[in-house]
């Protein structure tokens, strides 16, 4: 019997999934920290300096590839898992499962898909310009002038709405993801797991609210 | 006619087993591979024997009717397992365990067998611990023990109220290990329907594949029955619904004599019957009597809520009647005392068929947490079944059919009167006399399976190293299979109206009324007549939907019930001939002035072993005289 | 009480099954769920129909035979309860009760509500034991195990192998089942010796049986009649990692 599309044991896949997820969660912290510089009120100066520093650092260049790999692994593995899990119950239940589980945990794939769609939009908006796949908007001074791009983008209420909704789902995804990754890696302790769960909730809220502030700020207060 | 030879070795009691063992013949490792053994049943005894025999290198085939060996009914034993470890420094010893079992069994067991069971009990605990069975431990990390009915030391090892489950899962794990190694082959979802005897030796079994309905032939050089007891003869019992007598009964029909069939233990603490459709009584472990106090209202028909009945209006009848042992009297005594109170009209509940088991004092003294730690799962179970919270109000309990001390007659080697056919665990009769003490069942089953049978069976198999495979296409197998097939056809062809469960229920009622906790000659004769009538009716009116070539639970049930009529008759027959009261067997005609059992050692210190003579004929009674050299026969007093 | 029962009927493993509806009257609230099914079966047999086949034995919540998926919950609406311990007083009068077998690729239906759980057996064959022969056991108290650990080991060992964890999991994953056994042995000195090989083999077998993967929804813990904790899954994950990380090549 073929185990899965990839020849890794269930637990190895779980590990890789969790590690990739953890890496992405760390990335989100850096991403958010940088983004929040947009709110410095200096017309994006501090933000631009940070971006310039980051884009010129060779380490970050390497990390960029790692980041892509992280996303790719997390997404592909997510698909593989979903497919495998779908097949492991060929005849479905007539009545929906009513076990009380955290809603977020049940919809990791669904929120994942939404986040993926958002990611594509986000990449179109900001990243593909750098690769030259999408034309640089007129108002941006140069390829890395994300600040101007953001200003223009978020003054469009539709984009702001898309981003905000996506952040809500991101929050849902992260709420489960945070403590789940610890569980998957076996980092579990009767004393600390409850703490991890609380931190997970704080993290999920902080990330989604933190990111949400930026489009809201540009839409209403800029 | 069969002549019984118990093969009890000579020598001092404490050395019998060790001396005897060294004299047994062995089968060398290369030859073991050439020998097949069939084990039927995967409870503690069966799975233990199968894995031990597998370890030795025999080819073992093991059968169970469940989908997994882990579900055998040993799983439901709650309280614990005895061993003479003397971890409590309470002056326990192998001899004391032996003595307690002899006394608890009301001196109707063989000294040599009981001593051996006590002797291996310590090895059993060590082996279970080594297999990772999670026995309860104290804070220093050593094994904890608790006390149990009928003894004055604390020698019962336990794993909460799930000792049987944990011991069975330990045994199951050792079985799995052998299955993985290929020495044991497991055949789940099989009912064993007949023994095949070739030239006077047990050489195989006929089984029915419960999924496809096909009959299968399996051959071996020896057959081991570990098929448990026949307590479901009462319909309502603490046994699993699948537990049955059929395997042992087929051996009886083929010439294995059946010993002490009327010795059947009625457990004092089961949840009482709550509705008419109930088909099972759930046990509340005897260990509860360590902390619970048993009482009934002092006034007849006092229907007040138990919490409203004041202390002075309660009759703690066990403490009153048996001050030395109090609530911890042996099971037979506790059961009869409960029945006596209820019959006299003092019973609790709507039916008046229950007594209270109260934890109020224990909770006040030790705190609810301590009680929860000890019995948490039992209390939960009680609440789930009855909807009553036993922390807040007393439990209601009533006796229920539980364990059969009787069973296939075996000699010191655990071999029945059919050469090559062994019976171990509850399915044999050997170690508990007329009454079993709590927590000695797990002990005996494991001892038989792991430590005794593997030694004794080699002595028999030593003659079989040149026999070669036993072919299954020989006439004996054909004939046995045909008989089974005919019986199935006959039962399928009846086409009546009444279900097997309904017959079973009626049968159970007859047995409970006429051959239950209290018996008298008239009732037993009446019972036998009623059984004959019911059996006739069964063969005219049993209804089995579907076919026999598929998974057919009604057919499975009917085949089991069909055997129970004969089992019941033999029980009555045996109870009738035993004109004394001993252990669980209580004859109204033989009691003291205070209503205690009155034994008659001069006339009845024997094992009653019955030889089958045909479906309608009266079986022949053989008597194996019991000799007592190391215990003094006393009136069993717990006062 | 009166109920409408909607029950999955399937003649055998190869037949196509379907739901049948049975109205059932005069059910006593004192009946257990299985007694209610016995009651139904009696009526079906009386009407000349085939009774509903379901697995059961001890009827006191310990053998793990019974397992029905009742109204969207393995073992029904009560927590820490097996189907046989469930009572009709836990249902509303007039309710429609939908009864299905466990659903999983690794648990094919044999007949009606009975599934084949031999995949569970094979996971145990792969390594659910301590390699110790009869006769090699040291004195029981030579390996002290602290009470707290001993209690935890017991909690893991309380599994009855019913399969509710698989039935409850949206991925039909058997992690809790495997983890309970792996954890039980990994926590005690007797089992530690071969803990690494054990986790490796058992996980491999579990994957081969076609169970789904764990996504930490913890439905298994919620619906486990013995309340076995998903902490043991974390423990298994840890064991598995150390097994992979520290794997030694045979010389």
- Quick: pLDDT tens for A137-194: 666 666 668 888 888 889 889 999 999 999 999 999 999 999 999 999 999 888 899 9
Within 8 A by CB and 6+ apart from B113, the residues are: B8, B412, B430, B431
- Name the residue in chain B with its Cα closest to that of C87: B385
Q: Is residue B143 included in any domain, yes or no?
A: no
Contacts of C207 in chain A (CB under 8 A): 3-4, 9-10
Cα distance between residue C199 and residue C240, in whole Å: 6
Residue B62 has pLDDT above 70, yes or no: yes
**CB-based contact, B4 to chain C, within 8 Å:** no
Within 8 A of C172 by CB-CB distance, chain A residues are 85, 88-89
Dist. CA B430–CA B406, nearest whole Å: 8
Contact B55, B455 (CB under 8 A): no
pLDDT digits (tens, 9 = 90+) for C48-103: 999 999 999 999 999 999 999 999 999 999 999 999 999 999 999 999 999 999 99
Q: What is the pLDDT of residue B17?
A: 97
Of B70, B76, B384, the CB nearest to C85: B384
By CB neighbour count within 10 A (0-12 exposed, 13-18 middle, 19+ buried), where does B493 fall?
Answer: exposed
The mean of the pLDDT values for chain A is 89
Position A6 scores a pLDDT of 67
Could you give the number of structural domains in chain B?
2
Q: CB of A93 within 8 Å of any CB in chain C?
A: yes
Query: Which 3 state secondary structure label does DSSP give B452?
Result: helix
Is B73 close to C58, i.e. CB distance below 8 A? yes
pLDDT value of position A61: 87
Is B558 inside a domain boundary? yes
By the 10 Å C-beta count (0-12 exposed, 13-18 middle, 19+ buried), B360 is classed as middle
Q: Which residues of chain B from 375 to 404 reach within 8 Å of chain C, CB to CB?
A: 380-381, 384-385, 387
Distance (Å) from the C-alpha of residue C43 to the closest C-alpha of chain A? 25
Instruction: Give the count of beta carbons closer than 10 Å to the beta carbon of residue B482.
Output: 12
d(CA B81, CA C142): 19
Domain assignment of residue B119, yes or no: no
Q: Two tokens at A2?
A: 């073929």
What are the φ/ψ torsions at residue A164 (nearest 5 degrees)? -60, -45
SS3 at position B427: helix
Interchain CB contact of B450 with C (< 8 Å): yes
Q: Do B67 and C59 touch (CB under 8 A)?
A: no
- Of B564, B556, B551, B567, nearest to B491 by C-alpha is B556
**Tell me, what's the pLDDT at A144?**
66
What is the predicted pLDDT for the residue at B523?
Answer: 97
B610 with B621: CB under 8 angstroms?
yes
- pLDDT bucket at A127, cuts 50 / 70 / 90: confident
Per 3-state DSSP, chain C is made up of helix, strand and coil in percentages (nearest 5) of 40, 15, 50
Query: Which residues of chain C does A100 touch, with a Cβ-Cβ cutoff of 8 Å?
Result: 222
- List of chains touching A (3+ CB pairs within 8 A): C
Instruction: Please report, for the domain that includes residue B495, its CATH number.
Output: 1.20.58.100
C182: chain B residues, CB-CB within 8 Å: none
- Phi–psi pair at B184, nearest 5 degrees: -115, 135
DSSP helix, strand, coil percent of chain B (3-state; round to 5):
40, 15, 40
- Cβ burial of B303 (10 Å; 0-12, 13-18, 19+) is exposed
CA distance B206 to chain C (A): 23
Q: What is the 3-state secondary structure (H, E, C) of A115-153?
A: HHHHHHHHHHHHHHHHHCCCCCCCCCCCCCCHHHHHHHH
Q: What residues are paired with B196 via a beta bridge?
A: B204
Same domain assignment for residues B521 and B619:
yes
Cβ pair A101, C171 in contact under 8 A? no
Q: In this predicted structure, what is the pLDDT of residue A143?
A: 63
Nearest CB to C157: which of B142, B169, B240? B169
> Shortest Cα distance from C159 to chain B (angstroms)?
9
> For residue C99, what is the enclosing H or E element?
strand C96-100
CA distance C33 to chain A (A): 18
Domain boundary among B356, B382, B400: B400
Domains of chain C in start order, with CATH, are: 3-111 (3.10.20.30), 118-245 (1.10.1060.10)
Question: What is the residue-wise DSSP string for C207-241?
Answer: HHTT-B---S--HHHHH-TT---THHHHHHHHHHH
Residue of C nearest to B174 (CA): C129
Nearest in space to B425 (alpha carbons), one of B34, B134, B164, B66: B164
Q: How many CA atoms lie within 13 A of A79 on its CB side?
A: 9
pLDDT score, position A140: 64
Q: Identify the CA nearest to A124 among candidates A106, A149, A145.
A: A149
> Are C27 and C35 a contacting pair, CB within 8 Å?
no
Nearest chain A residue to C102, by CA? A93
Sign of CA dihedral B133, B134, B136, B137: positive
Within a domain: B615: yes
Q: Determine contact, residues B197/B452, Cβ cutoff 8 Å.
A: no
Give the separation between CA C181 and CA C205, rounded to whole angstroms. Answer: 14
Closest CA to B399 of B469, B473, B458, B341: B341
| Max Cα-Cα span within chain A | 61
Cα B539 to chain centroid, rounded: 28
Beta strands in B211-251 (DSSP E): 215-219, 222-225
Residue A131 or residue B456, greater confidence:
B456
Contacts of C101 (CB under 8 A, 6+ apart): C8, C10, C68, C69, C107, C109, C112, C113, C114, C115
Measured CA to CA, the distance from residue A87 to residue C172 in angstroms comes to: 10
**B385 vs C166, more confident:** C166
Query: Has B70 been annotated as catalytic?
Result: no
Interface of C with B in 192-251 (CB under 8 A): none
Query: Of A164, A129, A38, nearest to A139 (Cα)?
Result: A129
ipTM confidence: 0.97
State residue A92's pLDDT score. 95
- With a cut of 90, say whether residue A99 has pLDDT above it: no
* Å between C73 CA and nearest CA of chain A: 6
Residue A2's pLDDT band, with cuts at 50, 70 and 90, is very low
d(CA A28, CA A17): 16
B242 contacts C51? CB cut-off 8 A: no
Residue A132 CB partners (closer than 8 Å, separation 6+): none
| CB of A52 less than 8 A from some CB of C | no
DSSP line for C150-193: HHHHHHHHT-----HHHHH-TT-B-HHHHHHHHHHHHTSHHHHT
Provide the total of helices (H) and of strands (E) in chain C, helices listed first.
Answer: 9, 7
The reply to whether B508 falls in a domain is: yes
* Distance (Å) from the alpha carbon of C170 to chain A's nearest alpha carbon: 7
Per cent of chain C over pLDDT 70 is 98
Q: Is residue B301 part of a domain?
A: yes
In a domain, B573, yes or no: yes
Closest by Cβ to A95, choosing from C71, C233, C239: C71
For residues B513 and B523, give the distance between their C-alpha atoms in angstroms, rounded to a whole number.
8
Q: Chains A/B: 3 or more C-beta pairs closer than 8 A?
A: no
Q: Are B111 and B437 in contact, with CB atoms under 8 Å apart?
A: no
B381 plus B479 within the same structural domain: no
**Bridge partner residues of C115 (DSSP):** C109
The domain boundary, picked from B400, B424, B450, lies at B400
**For B601-624, what is each residue's pLDDT tens digit?**
999 999 999 999 999 899 999 999
The DSSP letter of residue B298 is: S
Q: From A189, which residue of chain C is nearest by alpha-carbon distance?
A: C231
Alpha carbon distances (Å) from A79 to A5, A105, B347: 10, 16, 65
- The residue behind tokens 């631009």 is A48
Which of the following is catalytic: B96, B108, B331, B341?
A: B331
Full residue range of the structural domain in which residue B355 is found: 268-400
Average pLDDT over residues A197-213: 96
Of A3, A96, A186, nearest to C238 by CB-CB distance is: A186
| Contact yes or no for C19 and A94 at CB 8 A | yes
Quote the minimal CA–CA distance from C240 to chain A in Å: 7
**Distance, CA of C242 to chain centre:** 27
* Phi and psi, residue C59, nearest 5°: 60, 30
- Chains that contact B by 3+ CB pairs under 8 Å? C
Same-domain status, B482 and B610: yes
pLDDT value at position A149?
86
- Kindly determine whether residue A99 and residue C219, on different chains, have CB atoms separated by under 8 Å: yes
Tokens of C139: 């004195």
Residues B387 and B481 in one domain: no
Whether B388 maps to a domain, the answer reads yes
Residue B300 pLDDT > 70, yes or no?
yes
Q: Do C103 and A108 touch (CB under 8 A)?
A: no
Separation between Cα atoms, residue B536 and residue B565, nearest integer Å: 10
> Looking at chain A, which residue has its C-alpha nearest residue C229?
A190
Answer yes or no: is pLDDT of B263 > 50: yes
Residue C125's alpha-carbon distances to B33, B128, B179, in angstroms, are: 21, 19, 7
The residue among B383, B400, B417 that closes a domain is B400
For residue C38, which residues of chain B lie inside 8 Å, CB to CB?
A: 277, 279, 501
Task: Report the candidate in A56, A62, A67, A72 with the shortest Cα–Cα distance to residue A30.
Answer: A67
d(CA B624, CA B609): 7
Indicate yes or no: CB of C240 within 8 angstroms of CB of A102: no
> What was the pLDDT predicted at A4?
47
Contact A100 C222 (CB under 8 A): yes
| Spatial CA neighbour of B96 closest among B79, B80, B115 | B115
- Confidence band for C22, pLDDT divided at 50, 70 and 90: very high
Look at residue A67 and give its three-state secondary structure.
helix
Lowest model confidence (mean pLDDT) among A128-142, B506-520, C26-40, C96-110: A128-142
Structure tokens that stand for A19 in this block: 């590690």
Q: What is the CATH number of the domain that holds B364?
A: 3.90.700.10
Whether residue B639 is predicted with pLDDT greater than 50 in this model: the reply is yes
Chain A interface mutation, best of C78, C215, C220, highest count of A Cβ atoms under 10 Å:
C215
**What mean pLDDT value characterizes chain B?**
95
Alpha-carbon gap, residue B440 to B442, rounded angstroms: 6
Check whether domain A10-89+105-221 has CATH 3.30.360.10, yes or no? no
Choose between C246 and C178: higher pLDDT. C178
pLDDT tens-digit map of B69-113: 999 999 999 889 999 999 999 999 999 999 999 999 999 999 999
Q: Which of B71, B454, B546 is closest, CB to CB, to C63?
A: B71
Quick check: A153 contacting C, CB < 8 Å? no
| 3-state DSSP of B161-181 | CCHHHHHHHHHHHHHHHHHHH
Residue B635: in which H helix or E strand, if any? none
| Residue in A88, A98, A106 closest to C217 by CB | A106
Is residue B541 within 8 A of residue B206, CB to CB? The reply is no
């Amino acid at each position: 019997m073929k185990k899965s599309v990839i020849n890794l044991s269930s637990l190895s896949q779980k590990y890789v999934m969790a590690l990739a997820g953890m890496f992405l969660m760390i990335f989100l912290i850096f991403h958010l920290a940088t983004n929040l510089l947009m709110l410095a009120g200096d017309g994006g100066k501090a933000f631009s300096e940070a971006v310039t520093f980051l884009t010129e650092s060779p380490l970050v260049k390497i990390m960029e590839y790692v980041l892509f790999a992280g996303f790719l692994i997390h997404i592909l593995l997510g698909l593989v898992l979903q497919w495998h899990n779908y097949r492991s119950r060929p005849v479905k239940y007539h009545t929906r499962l009513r076990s009380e589980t955290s809603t977020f945990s049940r919809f990791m794939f669904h929120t994942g898909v939404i986040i993926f769609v958002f990611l594509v939009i986000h990449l179109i908006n900001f990243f593909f310009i750098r690769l030259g796949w999408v034309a640089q908007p007129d108002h941006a001074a140069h390829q890395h002038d994300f600040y101007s791009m953001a200003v223009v983008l978020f003054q469009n209420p539709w984009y702001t709405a898309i981003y905000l909704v996506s952040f809500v789902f991101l929050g849902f995804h992260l709420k489960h993801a945070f403590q789940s990754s610890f569980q998957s890696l076996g980092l579990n302790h009767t004393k600390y797991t409850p703490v991890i769960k609380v931190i997970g909730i704080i993290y999920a809220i902080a990330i989604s609210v933190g990111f949400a502030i930026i489009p809201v700020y540009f839409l209403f207060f800029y | 006619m069969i002549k019984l030879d118990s093969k009890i070795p000579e020598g001092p009691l404490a050395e019998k087993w060790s001396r005897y063992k060294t004299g047994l013949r062995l089968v060398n490792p290369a030859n073991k591979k050439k020998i097949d053994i069939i084990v039927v049943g995967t409870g503690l005894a069966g799975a233990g024997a199968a894995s031990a025999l597998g370890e030795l290198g025999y080819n073992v085939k093991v059968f169970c009717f469940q989908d997994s060996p882990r579900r055998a009914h040993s799983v439901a034993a709650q309280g614990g397992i005895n061993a003479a470890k003397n971890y409590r420094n309470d002056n326990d010893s192998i001899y004391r365990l032996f003595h307690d079992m002899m006394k608890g069994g009301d001196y109707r067991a063989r000294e040599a067998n009981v001593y051996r069971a006590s002797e291996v009990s310590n090895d059993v605990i060590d082996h279970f611990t080594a297999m990772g069975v999670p026995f309860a431990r104290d804070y220093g990390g050593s094994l904890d023990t608790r006390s149990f009915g009928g003894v004055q030391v604390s020698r019962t090892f336990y794993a909460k109220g799930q000792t049987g489950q944990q011991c069975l899962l330990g045994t199951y794990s050792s079985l799995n290990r052998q299955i993985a190694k290929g020495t044991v082959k497991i055949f789940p979802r099989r009912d064993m329907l007949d023994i095949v005897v070739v030239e006077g030796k047990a050489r195989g079994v006929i089984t029915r594949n419960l999924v496809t309905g096909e009959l299968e032939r399996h051959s071996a050089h020896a057959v081991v029955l570990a098929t448990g007891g026949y307590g479901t003869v009462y319909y309502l019992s603490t046994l699993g619904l699948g537990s049955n007598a059929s395997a042992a009964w087929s051996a009886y029909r083929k010439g294995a004599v059946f010993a002490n069939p009327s010795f059947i233990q009625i457990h004092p603490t089961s949840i009482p019957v709550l509705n008419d459709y109930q088909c099972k009584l759930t046990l509340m472990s005897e260990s509860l009597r360590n902390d619970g106090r048993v009482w009934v209202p002092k006034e007849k028909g006092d229907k007040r809520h138990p919490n409203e009945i004041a202390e002075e209006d309660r009759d703690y009848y066990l403490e009153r009647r048996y001050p030395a042992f109090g609530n911890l009297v042996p099971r037979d005594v506790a059961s009869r005392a409960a029945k006596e109170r209820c019959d006299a009209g003092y019973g609790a509940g709507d039916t008046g068929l229950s007594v209270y088991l109260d934890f109020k004092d224990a909770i006040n003294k030790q705190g609810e947490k301590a009680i929860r730690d000890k019995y948490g799962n039992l209390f939960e179970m009680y609440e789930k079944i009855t909807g009553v919270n036993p922390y807040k109000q007393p439990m209601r309990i009533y006796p229920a059919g539980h364990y059969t001390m009787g069973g296939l007659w075996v000699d010191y080697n655990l071999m029945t009167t059919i050469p090559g056919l062994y019976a171990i665990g509850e399915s044999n009769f050997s170690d508990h006399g007329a009454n079993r003490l709590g927590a000695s069942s797990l002990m005996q089953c494991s001892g038989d399976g792991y430590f005794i049978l593997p030694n004794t069976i080699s002595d028999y198999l030593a003659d079989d190293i040149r026999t070669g495979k036993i072919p299954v296409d020989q006439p004996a197998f054909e004939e046995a299979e045909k008989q089974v097939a005919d019986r199935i056809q006959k039962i399928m062809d009846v086409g009546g109206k009444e279900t097997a469960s309904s017959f079973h229920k009626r049968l159970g009622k007859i047995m409970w009324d006429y051959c239950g906790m209290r018996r008298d000659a008239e009732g037993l004769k009446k019972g036998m007549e009623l059984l004959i009538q019911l059996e006739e009716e069964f063969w005219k009116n049993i209804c089995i939907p579907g076919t026999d070539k598929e998974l057919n639970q009604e057919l499975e049930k009917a085949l089991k019930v069909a055997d129970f009529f004969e089992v019941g008759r033999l029980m009555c027959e045996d109870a009738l001939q035993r004109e004394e009261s001993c252990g669980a067997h209580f004859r109204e005609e033989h009691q003291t002035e205070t209503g205690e059992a009155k034994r008659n050692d001069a006339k009845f210190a024997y094992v009653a072993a019955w030889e089958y003579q045909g479906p309608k004929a009266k079986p022949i009674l053989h008597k194996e005289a019991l000799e007592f050299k190391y215990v003094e026969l006393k009136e069993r007093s717990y006062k | 009480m009166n109920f409408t029962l909607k029950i999955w009927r399937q003649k055998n493993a190869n037949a196509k099954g379907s739901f049948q509806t049975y109205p059932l009257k005069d059910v006593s609230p004192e009946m257990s769920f299985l007694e209610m099914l016995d009651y139904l079966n009696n009526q079906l047999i009386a009407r000349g129909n085939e009774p509903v086949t379901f697995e059961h034995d001890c009827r006191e919540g310990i053998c793990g035979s019974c397992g029905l998926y009742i109204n969207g919950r393995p073992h029904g609406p009560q927590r820490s309860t097996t189907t046989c311990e469930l009572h009709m007083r836990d249902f509303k009068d007039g309710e429609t009760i939908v009864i299905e077998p466990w659903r999983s690729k690794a648990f094919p239906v044999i007949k009606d509500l009975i599934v084949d759980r031999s995949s569970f057996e094979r996971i145990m064959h792969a390594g659910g034991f301590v390699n110790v022969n009869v006769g090699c056991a040291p004195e029981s108290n030579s390996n002290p195990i602290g009470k707290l650990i001993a209690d935890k080991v017991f909690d893991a060992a309380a599994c009855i192998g019913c399969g509710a964890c698989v039935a409850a999991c949206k991925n039909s994953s058997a992690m809790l089942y495997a983890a309970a056994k792996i954890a039980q042995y990994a926590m005690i000195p007797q089992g530690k010796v071969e803990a690494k090989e054990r986790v490796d083999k058992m996980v491999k077998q579990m994957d081969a049986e076609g169970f789904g993967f764990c996504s930490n929804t913890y439905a298994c813990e919620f619906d486990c009649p013995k309340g076995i904790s998903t902490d043991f899954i974390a423990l298994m994950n840890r064991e598995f990692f150390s097994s992979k990380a520290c794997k030694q090549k045979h010389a």
